[in-house]
Structure 1
């Protein structure tokens, strides 16, 4: 079983579709992904994906590819959060948040985490940012415990696709015990 950080660097260098900029993010990436994959594989968490409006295309891309039969792995519990709660843009109060959390605790007794991709100041980020177990790909804010990107980066869409490719490869490697994400 290969050590996670070394595997990540090796994968970035060997995969022709991944760019060297990812290697610069390795220390930001490794603990974030480790926590997320441990929650999924060891704690049986479900992943509720939320994006800002501009990244709705990316949400669809993730959901179309995360459980592809081409991956030859079991399907994993990734869901579009808006399929559970349509009024995400209209969360106004702590009561709204409390009611949503109650619903999710009933729906996901093993636990859940949010995967948020988008601008930090977007209203859709609220739930994810206040939930400890969230997997955050935040734009335009330097936030500890998240992957920090810039929304004005002209290569942002390509970077998101590369990050997803690396994440999906990491999921498979952890699932098939090729790496230990806890180390």
Structure 2
């Protein structure tokens, strides 16, 4: 079984569809991906995906591809947050509303859940994922230590998101099939 950081570097270098920019961010990438995959595979948590409005296309892409039968792996628990809560864009969310949402999710996911947020840091949709401790954050326009940080002004942003998803999905498969241990 290969060490996670080395596996990540090798995968980036070997995959012609992943650009070298991601290798430069390997120390930012590997800890948050390891935490995310551990939450899913070791702790049995479900993943609730939230994006800002501009990245809704990416949410659809993730949900279409994460459990693609061509991957020949078990389906994994990834869900669209809007399926649980349609008032996601309500700017008047109170602390009580957030607690009610968390209560609903605790009942719905007795083994736990974590958020995967992709989008602008200041978006109303980022509120709950940013205050939840196990979130997998791909944040735009904020430098945050426990997140993968990007810029919304980057002309290659959409391509980078697709490359990141490709690497994440490959990491899920490699971990499931014991090719890599994300805890090392």
CA RMSD of aligned residues (A): 0.5
Structure 2 distance, partners of 1:36, 1:139, is 19
Structure 2 distance, partners of 1:143, 1:89, is 23
Instruction: Report the CA distance between 1:92 and its aligned residue.
Output: 1.6
Structure 1 distance, partners of 2:30, 2:16, is 20
Match of 1:150 in 2: 151
Moved over 2 A (4+): none
Instruction: Report the CA distance between 1:12 and its aligned residue.
Output: 0.2
What residue ranges of structure 2 are gaps of 5+ in the alignment?
Answer: none
Match of 1:122 in 2: 123
Structure 2 distance, partners of 1:53, 1:17, is 26
What residue ranges of structure 1 are gaps of 5+ in the alignment?
Answer: none
Match of 1:49 in 2: 49
Structure 2 distance, partners of 1:44, 1:163, is 23
TM-score (norm: length of structure 1): 0.99
Is 2:28 the counterpart of 1:28? yes
Match of 2:40 in 1: 40
How many residue pairs get matched?
A: 183
Match of 2:97 in 1: 96
* Corresponding residue SS for 2:110: coil
Structure 1 distance, partners of 2:31, 2:77, is 21
